[in-house]
Amino acid sequence: MFARIVRHDWRNLAAERTVPWLAFVVAAIVGYGVWNGASWTSRQEDEAQAARSAYEKRIAELRAELRKPPVENPDPFAPDPRAPRTLGFVRQDAFLPPGPLAAFSVGQGDLLPAKVSVNVATGRRLLTRNYEVQNPLNLLAGRFDLAFAVVYLLPLLILALSYDLVSGERDQGTLGLLLSQPIGLSEFVRGKVVARLLLVLGLGGGLSLAGVPVAGLDLASAGTWARLGLWVLAVLLYAAFWFGLAVLVSALGRSSATNAVLLVSAWLGLVVVLPSLLGLAVAARYPVPSRALLVHAMREAANDADRRSAELLEKYFQDHPELTAGGKPDLSDFYTRYLTAEQDIERRVAPVLDRYDAALVEQQRMVSRLRFLSPAIAMQEALNDIAGTGLVRHSRFLGQAWWFAESTKAFFLPRIFGRATLTEADYDALPQFRFVEESPGDVLRRVVPGIGWILLATLAVAWVGLARLRRYPVAAS
């Protein structure tokens, strides 16, 4: 019986002239979204590639110089390929590769810098200074990507399909007739919902899969498949939630028009108003201290380091005997003074930097708690995490980039201070950056509470809705 209802309703839907149009609009939205995401991703990749080749070209030039025999009177201004400081000051860019599904959800990817330029003088305070030069108006407007289509537009499509689930039949006068058959209203509604869910997911899911080749995903990796599976699951649950809500509203027994207004208000509240309201709350609860404060702390530390430079030098080498293992440092050397001063500034600025990081961590924790107030927030967070364009993956990148900066310093500082001469073996051993991707398990642990909650909310609204259907006023009042 259930299958029959689904089939019948499906035929009804298919007979409507709007369905081909709907399919066309959904295809256009999904196509445009994936295309945008994919161009953004390939732009990121090209940039990383260009920076990588520039770095390698520079190192190859220096290596070629190194292989030439030393000259009698070298040009004092030409870079010496044997001096550790020459290589130490060459910038190597650590790039965060676009997330495995970045083409589906740009997320914070266009805002948070995906590049950290590292050399021997890179301190933590300089880690995040590499902005992309994008028009801020476009950042404000946000991206038209698949995640936007899912979070904002999919609910509207569902609401348009299901605001008159029951009231439509009543308005047509077919409801009484229907219920004179051996079938319950709840079973009937479930059949209609399943038919519509199939239509929505058929359109959305089929087209998203068609978008996979457009998005240029790395299908050889198992991680990508795991993420794709999670993505589809999340979209399914989110769609189910909105259908559940439609059932609940339908069960109230109001007219189709009232249902539509109620559902659109719910959408407006959950998707548009609540997130920006909570955004205010989060920023007010855990305000990030003024960045001007950081500037001032940096300035004072730098001034002070400059003033006490001699004293600092001595103290620094007392504290770090390992840095001068090769030989005695030349305390009058500009680079030696500069680099020790840098270390001191870093040490003094660190507590200030910690306050920013801590505030941001607290904010993100609060968002993780608040996502339970709106499925749209839970969904956006989950999609960013699945796509690999969220805050957590970015912090992970900064952590790894910082570790890379530390190993660069650990490589060069002893050689600079110990006045070592570089050989080809040193060139081969230069620190390299490679981003270690999160495991699917990590992603799963973050995503499951969010989409698990969407599932619970779906079950709750659907259960209450179906229960209330028993008392549905079949004859219009």
Partner 1 sequence: MVLRIARKELVEMARDGRFRAAAAIVGALLLMALATGLAQQRARADEVATAERLDRQVWDGQGPKNPHSAAHYGVYAFKPAPPLSFADRGLSAYVGETVWLEAHWQNLASHRPAEDRTALQRFGELTAATVLQLLLPLVVILLAFSAFSGEREAGTLRQLASLGVPGRALASGKALGVAGALALILVPATALGALALVSAAPGSWVATLGRAAVMAAGYLVYLAAFIGLSIAVSALLPSSRLALVALLGFWILNGLVVPRLVADLSERLHPVPTATAMWAAMREDMTNGIDGHNPADVRSQELERETLAEYGVTKVEDLPVSFAGISLQAGEEYANQVFDKHYRALWDAYARQDRTHLAACVFAPLLAMRSLSMGLAGTDFGQHRHFVTAAEEYRRGLQRFLNGEMTRKAKGLDFGYRADPAFWATAPRFDYEPPSLASVLGQQASAASLLALWAISASVFAGWAASRLRVA
Residues 77-116 that bind partner 1 (CB under 8 A): 93, 107-108, 111-113, 115
Q: Binding to partner 1 (CB under 8 A): which residues in 248-267?
A: 256-257, 260-261, 264
How would you class 397 by CB atoms within 10 Å of its CB: exposed for 0-12, middle for 13-18, buried for 19 or more?
buried
How far apart are CB 54 and partner 1 at their closest, in Å? 7
**Which ranges constitute the DSSP H helices of 127-181?**
136-141, 146-148, 154-162, 167-172, 175-179
Q: Is 135 in the site for partner 1 (CB under 8 A)?
A: yes
Asked if 272 touches partner 1 (CB under 8 A), the answer is yes
Contacts with partner 1, 197-236, as mask; x by CB under 8 A: ----------------------------------------
Strand partners, 115: 95
The answer to whether residue 275 forms part of the interface with partner 1 (CB under 8 A) is yes
Sole binder of partner 1 in the list 143, 393, 415, 446 (CB under 8 A): 143
Judged by CB under 8 A, the number of residues near partner 1 is: 81
When asked if residue 136 is in the footprint of partner 1 (CB under 8 A), the reply is: yes
Q: Is 425 in the site for partner 1 (CB under 8 A)?
A: no
- Beta-bridged to residue 23, according to DSSP, are none
Among residue numbers 291 through 330, which ones bind partner 1 (CB under 8 A)? 291-296, 299-300, 302-303, 306-307
392 — phi, psi (to 5°)?
A: -65, -45
* Cβ burial 163-195 (10 Å sphere, 16+ → b, else e): bbbbbbbbeeeebeebeeeeeebbebbbbbbbb
Q: Counting contacts by CB under 8 A, is residue 177 touching partner 1?
A: no
**Cα gap 388→265, rounded to integer Å:** 31
Among 277, 310, 429, 459, binds partner 1 (CB under 8 A): 277
Query: Of these, 51, 179, 266, 444, which contacts partner 1 (CB under 8 A)?
Result: 51
Interacting residue with partner 1 among 59, 153, 331, 464 (CB under 8 A): 153
Instruction: Point out which span in 143-151, 188-196, 208-216, 346-354 binds partner 1 (CB under 8 A).
Output: 143-151
Q: 324 or 368, CB closer to partner 1?
A: 368
Asked if 282 interacts with partner 1 (CB under 8 A), we say yes
User: Is residue 50 near partner 1 by the rule CB under 8 A?
Assistant: yes
54 belongs to the binding site for partner 1 (CB under 8 A)? yes
Helices (H), 180-287: 185-215, 222-251, 256-267, 274-285
Segment 338 to 397, residues that bind partner 1, using CB under 8 A: 356, 359-360, 363-364, 367, 376-377, 380-381, 384, 390-391
Cβ at position 158, least distance to partner 1 in Å:
14
138, 421, 423, 432: which one contacts partner 1 (CB under 8 A)?
138
Contact 261, 159 (CB under 8 A): no
Element (H, E) at 118: strand 115-118
Contact with partner 1 (CB under 8 A): which of 130, 186, 395, 400?
130
* Dist. CA 140–CA 454, nearest whole Å: 28
By CB under 8 A, is residue 19 in contact with partner 1?
A: no
Q: Does 128 bind partner 1 (CB under 8 A)?
A: yes
Min dist CB 100 to partner 1, Å, is 18
Cα separation, 109 vs 96, whole angstroms: 10
140 binds partner 1 (CB under 8 A): yes
Residue 139 CA to residue 134 CA, distance in Å, equals 8
Q: Which stretch binds partner 1 (CB under 8 A): 13-21, 151-159, 172-180, 214-222?
A: 151-159
Tell me which residue of 195, 155, 153 sits closest to 30, measured CA to CA.
153
**For residue 279, what are the contacts with CB-CB under 8 A and spacing of at least 6?**
none
Q: Which residue's CB is nearer to partner 1, number 301 or number 323?
A: 301
Exactly one of 73, 276, 332, 477 binds partner 1 (CB under 8 A); which one?
276
Using alpha carbons, list the distances in angstroms from residue 97 to 41, 142, 320. 9, 21, 35
134/131 Cα distance (integer angstroms): 8
Half-sphere exposure of 411 (CA within 13 A, CB side): 23
- Among 176, 364, 107, 155, CA closest to 264: 155
C-beta of 108 vs 439, nearer to partner 1: 108
- Give the type of residue at 25: V
CB of 459 to partner 1, least distance (A): 26
244: exposed, middle or buried (C-beta count within 10 Å: 0-12, 13-18, 19+)?
buried
